[in-house]
Amino acid sequence: MNFVAALNEATSKNLFVLEEQIRQAIAEDPFIYEACAPLFKGGKRLRPMLFLLCANSQKNFPSEKTMPLAVALELIHTASLVHDDIIDTSKKRRGVETANSKYGAQIAVLIGDYLFAKAFQLVAENNYGVAVTTILSKLVKNLCVGEIMQDRSLYEIPTLAEYYTRINLKTAIFLSSCCQLGAIVAQMDKREVENLTAYGTGLGLAFQIIDDLLDFFGDEKITGKPNGGDLKSGVITLPVIRALEISEESPALKKLVTSGAVTNSDIDTAIKIIRNTDAVDYCRTRAEAHIESARVNLPITLKTSVALALDQIADFIVDRTR
């Protein structure tokens, strides 16, 4: 399913404006543009699009009011990916060389910091108010807390509750914040803001679970990164947690994933063990349950076109291949 096809006509047009404003945001210095431009190629723009849909859910807000915040959300997301790639020593992202691989960790850290700073500059210049700034500040804080939690528990097997805490901090809160911000900008009432925030949470939990499946079983040509990257970095996700619970080969899998040095051969072995269990179906069932929870929270007051787009995005989350 083409992601843009899941958006209503007005928001799809906004995507072109968004791309141009992202380009303008990073074009103030030739080297910064050269370093940053490849980072924005191939992304789904899920976060700013969720914000724009929710912001335009009841009345049409002018592009000059909504677009700077949409750009800021994509800049924050990309900054977090730059820092993730440094921590994971990743060589590729979205099929292209990562900033740390191309320029080294020192420059990559500064590129990520620049993108964070540029995002908050856009928000400050457009006077979105304390509520918006507070949500964005908490969002970045939670991204950091989630990453710290993950980094401190590498090669350790998390409980299901610990896994959910991590993916909530790293992914779900981001998507829920995008929906919440859109609802606030649209001046929706408190209950509707809460409902759209809950929709984003369900979406985010499902998104990360599917992401964890794709890390093992996605087409590398489509995902743009090698299978088993999380496991090689020491990050143990839901497919492994489930396989460890029920596989007859659980002791061998446990030894492999907690070894502290996972090889490509180990990844192949882990994939075979996971495939021999119900882990894939288990993860998909959980993701689908979160999607249904998201749908239930869609306010009935939404414009028909927006409600349809948000419903289609929910389908996209569980059906996606990258």
pLDDT, average across residues 2-20: 67
Q: Extract the tokens encoding 244.
A: 């460890």
Place of tokens 């993916």: 167
Place 10 in a pLDDT band, splitting at 50, 70 and 90: very low
- CATH number attached to the domain at 3-319: 1.10.600.10
SS3 216: helix
Annotated domain spans of the chain = 3-319
Q: Is the pLDDT assigned to residue 162 strictly greater than 50?
A: yes
CA torsion 144→145→146→147, rounded to 10°? 50
- The crossing angle, in degrees rounded to 10, of helices 250-257 and 238-246 is 150
Between residues 12 and 50, the one the model is more confident about: 50
278 phi/psi in degrees, rounded to 5 = -95, 20
Tell me how far the alpha carbon of residue 285 is from its chain's centroid: 20
CA-nearest of 32, 115, 28 to 78 is 115
Q: Extract the tokens encoding 126.
A: 């457009």
Q: Is the pLDDT assigned to residue 226 strictly greater than 90?
A: no
Alpha-carbon gap, residue 169 to 180, rounded angstroms: 16
pLDDT digits (tens, 9 = 90+) for 188-217: 999 999 999 999 999 999 999 999 999 999
Alpha-carbon gap, residue 318 to 47, rounded angstroms: 16
Average pLDDT value over all residues in the chain:
91
pLDDT at 11: 62
